[in-house]
Amino acid sequence: MFGNLGMGELMGILVIVLVLFGAKRIPEISASFGKGIREFKKNVNDVERSITEPEPRVEPRLPAGDPVIRRETAEEVRPEPKRLI
């Protein structure tokens, strides 16, 4: 049924769970287990999507009508670092 577990093993596991947690807590445990599985699947899908999909390239936009002014890196004016002594 589930992997190498037969019906006898599953029934034994269910009886042990019932004895350990009681009949009242089993629905709570099942619900939290289901939420955990859903969250895990969601995170796995997000990681797969971030790996397979390329990130959209965003280019800076200038207002229409303004000329584009580009400086070469050699022309950039950088302030002189402050001296401590």
DSSP for 14-55 reads HHHHHHHH-TTTHHHHHHHHHHHHHHHHHHHHHHHHHHHSPP
pLDDT in tens, 13-69: 989 988 988 888 888 888 998 999 999 999 999 999 888 887 777 776 666 665 555
What is the pLDDT, as a whole number, of residue 22?
Answer: 87
Structure tokens that stand for 41 in this block? 């699947």
If you average pLDDT over residues 67-75, what whole number do you get? Answer: 57
Residues 38 and 45: beta-carbon distance below 8 Å: no
What is the pLDDT, as a whole number, of residue 80?
Answer: 78
Which residue bears the tokens 């950088």? 78
What is the pLDDT, as a whole number, of residue 14?
Answer: 87
